[in-house]
Structure 1
C-alpha cells in the first residue's frame, strides 16, 4: 500500500472507532446513575466507617460542573463499552502488513485483547476502594474532605483505564515475537530487568503511596509477562521445527538437496 492508501485506511479505522465510541457514550449517558453510584461507593463507605456521612462528600463546583461530569463519565463508559470495536480496528489496521499465517495467529490476539482489557478494568474497580481509603485516611480527624467531583472522577477513570491498558502487555509481547522482533530467548534473558520495569511502572501508575496497591498491579503484570514468555517459547520452538535444515547454510556450501 502507498502512503496515501495507508492514511486513508487509518482515517477509515479511526472513523469506525469514533462512531463506536459515540454510540457507547450515548449508552453511558443513560447509565450515568448506576455508574456514578458504583464509583462513589468507596467514599460513602469510608464516611459510614467514620460515623459521619457529612465529613466526606463530592463537591460540584459551578453550575455546569454536574453536566460536564456526566459527559465525562459517559465518554468513560463509552470507551469501555466500545473497546471490542476500537481494539479490533487497531488490529485490522496492522493486519495488511502480516502474512497469511501471521493473520491467522493474530486472530488469537483479538480473542485475548478484549478479555484482558476488561479484566484489567474489573481488577482496578475491585482495587479502587482500597486506594480511596488509603488516600482519605490522610485527612485529619475532625476535618472534612470535600474533593472536587471533576478531580475525583478523573482519578478514578484514569486509575481504571491504566489497569486495563496495562493488562494488554502480554499481547504486545507475543505480537513482537510473532513479528520476529522479540525472541523468547531475549525475554528469558532479560526477565529480571523486565520485572523491575513492571514494578517501577506500577509504582508510577498507582497514585497511592502504599506498596499494597502497587503490588496489586505489579504481581498480575509479572504473571502475565511469564505467560507471554511461555507462549513465545512455544512459537519459537514451532518455527524452529518447521525451519528446513539447509536454511542456515552459507551460500557457497552445498545442501543435502
Structure 2
C-alpha cells in the first residue's frame, strides 16, 4: 500500500469533514420542524413552568441550536465511521481492536450518564432552583439559558460516567492499580456525597442519596475494572 503524503492526508480529512458537515446539516434541517414540539415536551418533563424569550430572535435561535445538537446525535454513526476511516489506517491491528472494544462501553456509559442527568439530576435541581427563586422574586426562566443548562448537564454527566473507562486505561498503562483505588474508598465516599450535596442543594437527604449512591457505585465499578485488568496484565 502506497504511503500517503501530508497533503494527501489533508485532502482525505477535508473530504471526510465535508461528509460529516453535510450529514449534520441534513439531519438538522429534517429535525428543525419538529424541534418546537420536542422542546415543549422537554420543558413539561423537566420543569413544567413557562419559559420566556428576551429577544425577538431567541426562540428561532434556540430552535436552530437544538436542531444542531439533535442533528449531531442522529448523525453520530456517520461521524464515528468517517473518523474511524480516517484514523484506523495509522493504527496497528492491536490498537484497532482496542478502539473497537472501547467504543461500545464508551457510548453505553455516555448514554447512561446523560440518562442519569435527565431522569435524576435535572428534575431535582431545576425544581430547587425554581422554588428557591420564587421565595425572593418572581422567577422568569429564560428559554435559551434553561435549555443550555439542560444540554450542558446531559453532556457533563455523559463525560463523568466515562470514569470506569478512564480507570481501565490508566490501569492498563500502570498509572493506577486496584490497591491504590481501594485504599481511597473512604475519601471517595466523602467527596462523592459532598459533590452530591452541592448538585442537589435542597435540604432533603433523599435527593442527595439519589445522586450520591449511583456516583459512588461508579467508583466501585472502577475499582472492579482496575482489579480485573490488573489480573490480566
Q: Match of 1:48?
A: none
Q: Match of 2:3?
A: none
1:168 lines up with 2:165 in the alignment: no
Unaligned runs of 5+ in 2: 1-5
Aligned-partner Cα distance in 1 for 2:193–2:82: 30
What is the aligned length? 225
User: Are the structure 2 counterparts of residues 113 and 217 from structure 1 closer, same or farther at C-alpha, using a change threshold of 3 Å?
Assistant: farther
Q: CA RMSD in A?
A: 3.8
Residue range with higher mean Cα deviation, 111-120 or 30-39:
30-39
Residue range with higher mean Cα deviation, 99-108 or 27-36:
99-108
Map Cα deviations across residues 205-233 of structure 1 (whole Å, 9 max, x no partner): x3x42265554443222212222221221
Residue range with higher mean Cα deviation, 142-151 or 112-121:
142-151
Aligned with residue 40 of structure 2, among 32, 37, 40: 37
Q: Match of 1:159?
A: 153
Higher helix share: 2
* Contact 1:13/1:90 (8 A) holds in 2: no
Give the C-alpha shift of residue 200 in structure 1: 4.9
* Contact 1:117/1:167 (8 A) holds in 2: yes
1:67 lines up with 2:60 in the alignment: yes
User: Are the structure 2 counterparts of residues 190 and 25 from structure 1 closer, same or farther at C-alpha, using a change threshold of 3 Å?
Assistant: farther
* Contact 1:60/1:149 (8 A) holds in 2: yes
User: Are the structure 2 counterparts of residues 154 and 109 from structure 1 closer, same or farther at C-alpha, using a change threshold of 3 Å?
Assistant: same
**Highest Rg: 1 or 2?**
1
Give the C-alpha shift of residue 134 in structure 1: 1.8
User: Are the structure 2 counterparts of residues 109 and 13 from structure 1 closer, same or farther at C-alpha, using a change threshold of 3 Å?
Assistant: farther
Give the C-alpha shift of residue 64 in structure 1: 0.6
Aligned-partner Cα distance in 2 for 1:30–1:112: 33
User: Are the structure 2 counterparts of residues 194 and 58 from structure 1 closer, same or farther at C-alpha, using a change threshold of 3 Å?
Assistant: same
Report the TM-score when normalising by structure 1: 0.68
SS for the counterpart of 2:51 is: coil
1:81 lines up with 2:74 in the alignment: yes
* Contact 2:23/2:75 (8 A) holds in 1: yes
Unaligned runs of 5+ in 1: 45-55, 240-257
Report the TM-score when normalising by structure 2: 0.74
Q: Match of 1:209?
A: 201
Map Cα deviations across residues 93-152 of structure 1 (whole Å, 9 max, x no partner): 887897644543442221111122112222222122332222221244796432121111
Aligned-partner Cα distance in 2 for 1:225–1:217: 13
Aligned-partner Cα distance in 1 for 2:209–2:15: 36
Aligned-partner Cα distance in 2 for 1:109–1:168: 11
Q: Match of 1:250?
A: none
Residue range with higher mean Cα deviation, 110-119 or 133-142:
133-142
* Contact 1:87/1:114 (8 A) holds in 2: no
* Contact 2:32/2:63 (8 A) holds in 1: yes
User: Are the structure 2 counterparts of residues 140 and 157 from structure 1 closer, same or farther at C-alpha, using a change threshold of 3 Å?
Assistant: same
